[in-house]
Amino acid sequence: MRVLGVDPGLTRCGVGVVEGVAGRPLKMLGVGVVRTSADAELGDRLVAIERGIEAWLDEHRPECVAVERVFSQHNVRTVMGTAQASAVAMLCAARRGLPVALHTPSEVKAAVTGNGRAEKDQVGAMVTRLLRLDAPPKPADAADALALAICHIWRAPAVNRLQQAHAAARAPRIPVRKVTR
């Protein structure tokens, strides 16, 4: 499975592509940051993020996109910018018919480090180890994007099985009549 991880942000939008399957060594195919100027108009910043993500989708052709789920923070302005960048990433994926998975920061941290409250440097260290890199990707947004992709690769099989079980449980049951002769 090839996953584009997106750590949304208006100034720095982390992007990273990881390929692999659960239980096997993973491979990083690319990592970076789409940057926009804080002085630019909001619309121009969103267009720049869209162009950056589209370029990553064109180059790496992922099978799905994993985006960090926006959560409430104290700073509403930051939340709005993150949500807007997140929506751009989801739109880019939807245009191509790619599935989008949303993962909370604590889900990602727990998947990668085993601790849902891990610090950024711990996430970076584990991403470095799991992908057999020489050094943690910089800035942290880039490492977070890789962590999102890793989280999705590891969680997707279990989530798919769970969804199938729920679908089967909701399927109408046709009564079976015993035929006696």
| Active site residue ranges | 7, 68, 141
- Distance separating alpha carbons of residues 43 and 28, to the nearest angstrom: 31
| Residue partners of 18: CB distance under 8 A and separation at least 6 | 2, 3, 5, 26, 27, 28, 29, 131, 146, 149, 150, 153
Which residue shows structure tokens 């046709």?
A: 174
139 upstream amide cis, omega within 30 of 0: yes
Identify how many contiguous H helices and E strands the chain contains and give both numbers. 5, 5
The candidate with the shortest Cα–Cα distance to 148, out of 36, 4, 30, 1, is 4
What is the Cα Rg of the chain in Å? 19
Sheet with strand 64-68: strands edge to edge: 27-35, 12-19, 2-7, 64-68, 100-103
Amino acid at 95: R
